[in-house]
Amino acid sequence: MESEHASPASVATASAALEEPVVAEPHDPSKQDLVISQQEKHDEELLCGTREDASPADLASSSALRYDPNQYLIAALKEAYLVSAKWRVPTQFDLPEGAVVVDTLQNHVYLGFDPAKLTQLYGLRMAKRPKTRVVSAGDFAKMRPRFESSGAVLRADALLWRAAMETAGGRLPTGVNPDKPVYLKHWPNMTRLQRTPHSLRIAAAWAIKGASISETARVLHIPQRYIFAFYNAALELDLVTEDGSHIHRAKRKGPGNRGLLTRLFNWLGK
C-alpha cells in the first residue's frame, strides 16, 4: 500500500406466533446493559487477549508473547490488499472454504464463504500461504454480482484492522523491539475501524511525539495488551513507522503547530 507522511492536519484529528396476544415483558435496562457489557468483554478479550503485563525481560524474549504473522491468514490478506492498492486492480486468493477477492478501489473484500468462519480461520497456522493473483476486469464483473447477492462483502480496511488484532490475540509480531520508538504516519479513521480501549490515546501519543510500546504503557498507565492490539492493527494498514521525521517537521512549522501538539500531549496525561 502506498502511503504519504502525516500532515499537521492528520495530527489535528487527534484534538477531537400469533394465536394469543403476547404480552411483552417490561423493559429492564439493567438486563440489556448486562448483555452489552458481556459482549464488550468478550470482544475485548478476543481482540486484546487477557494477559497481564509482562516484565521487561519477558517482553523482550518470551516466545509466548510473540507470533509470526507470515504463518497466518493475515499475511495472505495483507498481501492481496497491498497488491490491489499498488496496481489498482482486484486481487484474489483461494482457501478451502472459498475465494477471497480484495478490491481496494472500492475498499471491499468479497468472501466466497460465511464471514462467521473468519475468527476460526485467523487462529489457524497455514502450512503454505495462498498465492495472490490479479483478477481481470471481465472476470471481476462476472463474479461481483454473485458475491454481492450472498451478502459476504466487507470493508477491506476494517477487515484487515480487526483480523490483525484477532490473529495477534494480545501478542507482538516476532522481531518487534518493544523499546524502539513508534510513530503514527496517518490518523486512523476510527469511525469505521474497530475501537479498542485507549486506542485514541495511543494514536495521539504516537502522532504527537512517538513512543516505544513499553514507554506508551508506562506514560499512559494502561495495560500492555491494549497497546499490542492497536500496534498490530495499525501495522497491517501501514500506519506506523520507526521514522519520526514527519513529526519533527510538523513541530518546526510554527508556534500554532507546537501549541496544538502541547495541548494534545497535556490531554494524554488526564
State the amino acid at position 142 in one-letter form: K
Q: Name residues whose C-beta falls within 8 Å of residue 241's C-beta, 6 or more positions apart in sequence.
A: 182, 183, 184, 185
Q: Which grid coordinates are listed for 208?
A: 504527537
Residue 139 CB neighbour total at 10 angstroms: 13
Residue 38 is predicted with a pLDDT of 86
Find the mean pLDDT for residues 187-209.
94
Could you give the CA distance from residue 55 to residue 52 in angstroms, rounded to a whole number? 10
Find the mean pLDDT for residues 47-72.
95
CA angle 153, 155, 157 (to 5 degrees): 145
| Confidence tier at 56 by pLDDT (50, 70, 90) | very high
Q: Is the pTM of this model over 0.85?
A: no
Percent of the chain with pLDDT over 70: 78
- pLDDT tens readout for residues 147-184: 888 889 999 999 999 999 999 999 999 999 999 999 99
Q: Report the DSSP beta bridge partners of residue 182.
A: 211
Find the mean pLDDT for residues 227-256.
83
Quote the distance between the C-alpha of residue 77 and its chain's center.
Answer: 13
| Confidence tier at 11 by pLDDT (50, 70, 90) | very low
